[in-house]
Amino acid sequence: MREQPLNEVTQLIHAVKMGLVEGSYSITNKTLDIFKYIIMSKTWQNADALMQIVRAQSRIMQAALPQETVTSNMARRILKLTREEFELLQAKGQHFADDSQASLSLHKLVTQTSENCVSVDYSVPQQGLREALLDHLQEVETELETSSENISVQAEEHIHSSEIILTLGHSRSVENFLKRAIKKRQLLTIIVAECAPACRGHNLAASLAHEKNVEIIVIADASIFAMMSRVNKVIIGTHSVLANGGLRAACGAYTVALAAKHYSVPVIVLAPMYKLSPLHLCEQDAFNMVGCAEDVIAYDSVPARDAKVYSPMFDYVPPELVTLFISNTGGHAPSYVYRLLSELYHPEDLEL
Amino acid sequence: MQKSNSNSQQNASADKTREQVMAEREAKKQAKQAKKQKPITPATTIITQVEQTTITKKLTTTTTTTTKEQNQLQLAAAASAPSYDATVTNNAVQVSAQNTTDSLTNATGASEKTREQIKAEREAKKAAKHAAKSNKANSVDAVAQQLNNVQLTPKAAANETAATGAADQDKKKPALSKAERRAIQEAQRAAKAQGQNKNVTPTSGVAKAATSSVKATPVVSATPVKEPKRESESPAKSPSKPTTHKAEREWNVKLFNHLVSADKDASLFINDASVHPSIARLGVQYAQRTIVGSNARCIAFLHALRQVVQDFETPAKKEFGRSLDAAVKHHVEHLHKCRPLAVSVSNAYKQFKNQLMQLPDKPETELKELLGHFIDTYIENQIGKAAQAISSSMQEKITDGDVLLTFACSSLIQFICEEAKRRQVSFRVIVVDSLPFCEGQEMLRRLHACGIPCTYVLINAISYVMPEATKVMLGAHALLANGYVMARTGTAQVALVANSHNVPVLVCCETHKFSERFQTDAIVYNELCDPNQLVKDGKCCLHNWQTKSRLTPLNLSYDITPPELVSAVVTEVAILPCTSVPVILRIKPDIGY
């Protein structure tokens, strides 16, 4: 018998499916709210029970919204938090004042032997766990709120004056990042590829056009290669970062990254930490979704009757095409993503 | 006439707003009344319209000779057929509006006016007054010019006319904005008033212009009078067109300041007396992108050239060859002003010039025949037979189970696919397309017509379909002497992605498209198309981009594919690596120099 979804979970799933909640940030925020509600509720008595509930609810969300990895990422964060807090409290309770227990240093990882790694019994009731968790959750919330800003303050470190920057589609992180860059640097030229068929690039261009001292060029997706020869930097957002450092990004990102590689232009990907997901998906079929084809070719047009028309939503960008990730904690190379993941999530939670 | 039109309008009425429908209904009612009251005025207009239609149709059919192009041009003719209907309705509406102006103005005026609309109206009025003052002959021109001014940038729509079909035409028809319609009305009213003052004819100005020119040689008349009309009913992207046109040019992208966008001045198309009508017509077709594609442009140019040669009269005491050379040069310059010449066209022109230099000493009629024969053989050898040769060598490359990926529309690729289909090879085609040209839809329709199973995606989804493809076949605009391929923008991207998936890229290109130019990027030389094509519709954020100081859409025509991304070039001579272009240029010196 499967667990029933909470009322809040059902509401969130519905809202996302109806397009009422859009963008990774708001979905993450809502998910966090749900988990906060779960923690505050009286339905669990020990850490094990809490983890069971969190797992079950996130499984439901994952099944309902397979394309939104941020929900499971958030669940993994909560699980890791629970483990840490529980162990910390237990250690305190047993006067086991071993500080290195909390942090997984490289030294510890290497020297760790199986006898040290006794499985902890989470079913023991622990005093003060709820309060500690809520405290910690506050930190996570703040981190989430400031993530976009923390990314954009790094703009100055990466953009010099009179640079020509290319971006694709419309990502909120990229928008803030570029706005900051425009304020700090002179004579930037920003080339926006429109990202057909939704053409969300137009929105970004229109939003950036309010700034001064900048030249915005909107190009069709077909002209990316032609313009790339003049571009200094490619800055794109992503839907999620995969475990190998590859991207699941908006459709067209692969072409952009490939063209950048051809002209040796650095590709900078803005990805807040909550977009890091411990998944290995290197195939189109593994994660892609096909959208409505009406935008690609009108249903009632003559050739559309017999032709197969696809409108995929995502592109896989292999890690070798990415130069740098900028997250709210700083810059990372794609090869370092695995390490970030091991710090962010507990290895036992990778499989929910 | 009225009834059939009303039918077609009803089909289209789905996309109309309520005001438009109301205004139209009222206009129709008035048109009926006007018919009863003054049966002469609208009737003559319609008749002249019909005359024009038949004449232009004749003209269109004369140009369809080669089998390959026939299909395309017929399609174009079919596409334009319903648009004439539209003109007739429009005209009827306008004539009625002249009789009962006030009520219609009220009807349309009820909906909100934007500033641009008012401005456009004022401008039209001013120009109309001006026209009334000047003498008769000038005023007709002025009216025609004004009609053109109202719609300075219709080539976007015209381009799509070629690509999409008759069905689309019907859909677009109601998009004619009120500002434009009113400007046309104003102009016509002015012309009418002017005509009455002079006591020449009581019919409307445009009708008069049409009849007067029809009375002259029919070939001459059809072109200059028809064009402004056709322009006037083709839809514009935004109603602010007339006022913002000047501002548009100031907002060039800095990187592309060196590229002068072709001068779309109306006077260029109509008022040049020294330009042969067939060339003037071709110029408009180039500028409006009714004729697109390297081969189509070349064939159309040669046909027009033949017309020029046939109608050419040597001035007194001048040599035939020399004076014809000068005349043709002038014509080519005119075409260049309309749209930068395609490499294929300039190569054909060079060949023709060579031929002129070597003319034997013979009577003029024989020389004309000789030149006509030369043009025919050029088309047959360089385009027709070359396509066959390329197709036959490509047939070896297409086998059962192949998945061919192609980009945009190429007549040559279409020819190859049709041939393969005839051989009953079981293969399918993935057509990759890009906004804003959407030429792939045309390709899709053609392939679909011959029963080839197709898949259609936009260019940013190319990595989704590339794993399926076994071969990539691309057409080209030109092959440059350093081995780079100049083609419709997006081609390089397709080749790039194909390369990363290890799919062979074959570029099919006849040798008459080889150019001796060297180019290493797509920015030094390129063609800028109308940036408004990037604006999707009124709801798009780019709408009225001219008012945003720092925002510029950029619409490139071509891009350059580096030779390392191309596996081989298929020409009628051989299948070669890209870098062998100079070799071909050398062994075929008549092209290069």
Residue B19: per-residue pLDDT? 62
Write the CA distances from B20 to B12, B111, B174, B194, B536, integer angstroms. 12, 9, 9, 30, 21
- CB-CB neighbours of B118 under 10 Å: 12
Residue A128: per-residue pLDDT? 82
CA nearest to A86, candidates A46, A44, A56: A46
Is there a domain that residue B173 lies in? yes
Greatest C-alpha distance within chain A: 77
Q: Is residue B577 reached through a cis peptide bond, with omega within 30 degrees of 0 on the bond before it?
A: no
Q: Do B456 and A307 count as a contact with CB atoms less than 8 A apart?
A: yes
The verdict on B134 and B198 lying in the same domain is yes
Structure tokens at B10: 């009803």
Q: Do B454 and A222 count as a contact with CB atoms less than 8 A apart?
A: no
pLDDT tens per residue across span A48-89: 888 889 999 999 998 898 888 899 999 999 999 998 888 888
Q: Who has greater pLDDT, B174 or B27?
A: B27
Is it the case that residue B14 has pLDDT exceeding 90? no
Give the rounded percent of residues in chain B with a pLDDT score beyond 70.
54
Residue A221 is nearest to which of B434, B455, B492, comparing CB atoms? B434
**Mean pLDDT in chain A?**
86
Is it the case that residue B30 has pLDDT exceeding 80? no
Residue B209: per-residue pLDDT? 40
Is it the case that residue B214 has pLDDT exceeding 50? no
Query: Is the CB of residue A197 less than 8 Å away from at least one CB of chain B?
Result: yes
Is there a domain that residue B84 lies in? yes
**Closest residue, chain B, to A292 (C-alpha):** B457
Residues in chain A within 8 Å Cβ distance of B496: 225, 255, 258-259, 262
Give me the CATH number covering residue B500. Answer: 3.40.50.10470
Residues in chain B within 8 Å Cβ distance of A297: 441, 444, 456
In the listed set B362, B386, B410, which residue is the last one of a domain according to the structure? B386
Q: Which DSSP letter does residue B508 get? A: E
Q: Do A309 and B455 count as a contact with CB atoms less than 8 A apart?
A: yes
Structure tokens at B276: 């042969």
Residue B34: per-residue pLDDT? 58
Is there a domain that residue B214 lies in? yes
Q: Do B496 and A307 count as a contact with CB atoms less than 8 A apart?
A: no
Phi, psi values for residue A241, rounded to 5°: -105, 130
Dihedral-angle region of residue A10 (phi above 0 means left; psi in -120 to 50 means alpha; beta otherwise): alpha
Rounded to an integer, what distance in angstroms lies between the CA atom of residue B495 and that of residue A312? 20
Is there a domain that residue B583 lies in? yes
Chain-centre distance for alpha carbon A295:
27
Q: Which of B96-105, B131-140, B311-320, B568-577 has the lowest mean pLDDT?
A: B96-105
Q: How confident is the model at residue B339 (pLDDT cuts 50, 70, 90)?
A: confident
Is there a domain that residue B391 lies in? no
Rounded to an integer, what distance in angstroms lies between the CA atom of residue A326 and that of residue A237? 10
The verdict on B110 and B207 lying in the same domain is yes
Rounded to an integer, what distance in angstroms lies between the CA atom of residue B554 and that of residue B532? 9
The verdict on B291 and B243 lying in the same domain is no
**Side by side, which strands form the sheet with A240-241?**
A240-241, A247-250, A314-317
| DSSP bridge pairs for B423 | none
Q: Are A272 and A173 in contact (CB under 8 A)?
A: yes
Distance from CA of B231 to the nearest CA of A (A): 25
Mean pLDDT calculated for residue range B363-382: 91
Instruction: Give the count of Cβ contacts less than 8 A between chain A and B.
Output: 190
Q: Where are the domains of chain A?
A: 7-105+127-149, 154-347
Mean pLDDT calculated for residue range B120-135: 58
In the listed set B386, B409, B440, which residue is the last one of a domain according to the structure? B386
The verdict on B340 and B225 lying in the same domain is no
pLDDT tens per residue across span B230-278: 333 334 333 333 333 444 445 567 788 887 655 555 555 566 678 888 9
Rounded to an integer, what distance in angstroms lies between the CA atom of residue B402 and that of residue A333? 40
**Mean pLDDT in chain B?**
70
- CB-CB neighbours of B172 under 10 Å: 20
Bridge-based pairing state of the strands A247-250 and A214-219: unpaired
Is there a domain that residue B7 lies in? yes
The verdict on B381 and B416 lying in the same domain is no
The verdict on B409 and B371 lying in the same domain is no
Is it the case that residue B298 has pLDDT exceeding 90? yes
Residue B208: per-residue pLDDT? 40
- CB-CB neighbours of B318 under 10 Å: 11
How many structural domains compose chain B?
Answer: 3
Residues in chain B within 8 Å Cβ distance of A252: 459-461
Interface test with B, best of A200, A217, A316 (most B CBs within 10 A): A217
Mean pLDDT calculated for residue range B495-515: 94
The verdict on B364 and B440 lying in the same domain is no
Give the rounded percent of residues in chain A with a pLDDT score beyond 70.
91
The verdict on B283 and B236 lying in the same domain is no
Topology agreement, domain A7-105+127-149 and domain A154-347: no
**Closest residue, chain A, to B454 (C-alpha):** A307
Q: Do B435 and A225 count as a contact with CB atoms less than 8 A apart?
A: no
The domain covering A154-347 belongs, at the CATH homologous superfamily level, to Translation initiation factor eif-2b; domain 2 (3.40.50.10470)
Give whichever of A74-83, B58-67, B179-188, B579-588 has the largest mean pLDDT: A74-83
Residue B174: per-residue pLDDT? 43
Mean pLDDT calculated for residue range B102-120: 48
Please, what is the Cα angle at A187 between A185 and A192, to 5 degrees? 95
Q: Are B143 and B187 in contact (CB under 8 A)?
A: yes
| DSSP bridge pairs for B178 | none
Q: How confident is the model at residue B348 (pLDDT cuts 50, 70, 90)?
A: very high
Range of the domain at B207: 2-250
Residue B109: per-residue pLDDT? 41
Greatest C-alpha distance within chain B: 75
Residue B167: per-residue pLDDT? 40
Under-50 pLDDT residues of chain A: 1, 96-102, 116
pLDDT tens per residue across span B308-323: 999 988 888 888 888 8
- Which H, E and C letters describe A168-193, residue by residue? ECCCHHHHHHHHHHHHHCCCEEEEEE
**Closest residue, chain B, to A316 (C-alpha):** B463
Q: Do B458 and A296 count as a contact with CB atoms less than 8 A apart?
A: yes
A7-105+127-149 CATH: 1.20.120.420
Instruction: Give the up-direction half-sphere exposure of residue A43: CA atoms within 13 A in the CB hemisphere.
Output: 13
Rounded to an integer, what distance in angstroms lies between the CA atom of residue B341 and that of residue B297? 9
pLDDT tens per residue across span A299-316: 888 878 888 999 998 999
Q: Do A220 and B435 count as a contact with CB atoms less than 8 A apart?
A: yes
Q: Do A223 and B462 count as a contact with CB atoms less than 8 A apart?
A: no
Residue B173: per-residue pLDDT? 41
Is there a domain that residue B484 lies in? yes
- CB-CB neighbours of B170 under 10 Å: 17
Q: Which contiguous run of DSSP H or E holds residue A325?
A: strand A324-327
Is there a domain that residue B266 lies in? no
Is it the case that residue B427 has pLDDT exceeding 90? yes
Residue B205: per-residue pLDDT? 40
The verdict on B61 and B99 lying in the same domain is yes
Q: Are B535 and B237 in contact (CB under 8 A)?
A: yes
pLDDT tens per residue across span A231-257: 999 999 999 999 999 999 999 999 999
Residue B504: per-residue pLDDT? 95
Q: How confident is the model at residue B470 (pLDDT cuts 50, 70, 90)?
A: very high
The verdict on B128 and B231 lying in the same domain is yes
Q: Are B173 and B12 in contact (CB under 8 A)?
A: yes
Q: Who has greater pLDDT, B569 or B218?
A: B569
Q: Do A311 and B458 count as a contact with CB atoms less than 8 A apart?
A: yes
Beta strand spans in A231-302 (E): 233-237, 240-241, 247-250, 267-270
Q: Are B262 and B339 in contact (CB under 8 A)?
A: yes
Give me the CATH number covering residue B378. Answer: 1.20.120
Query: Is the CB of residue A255 less than 8 Å away from at least one CB of chain B?
Result: yes
Residue B270: per-residue pLDDT? 61
The verdict on B370 and B309 lying in the same domain is yes
Residue B31: per-residue pLDDT? 64
The verdict on B111 and B188 lying in the same domain is yes
Residues in chain A within 8 Å Cβ distance of B542: 202, 205-206, 218
CA nearest to B266, candidates B152, B179, B190: B152
Write the CA distances from A162 to A41, A231, B252, B328, B413, integer angstroms. 54, 11, 18, 47, 43
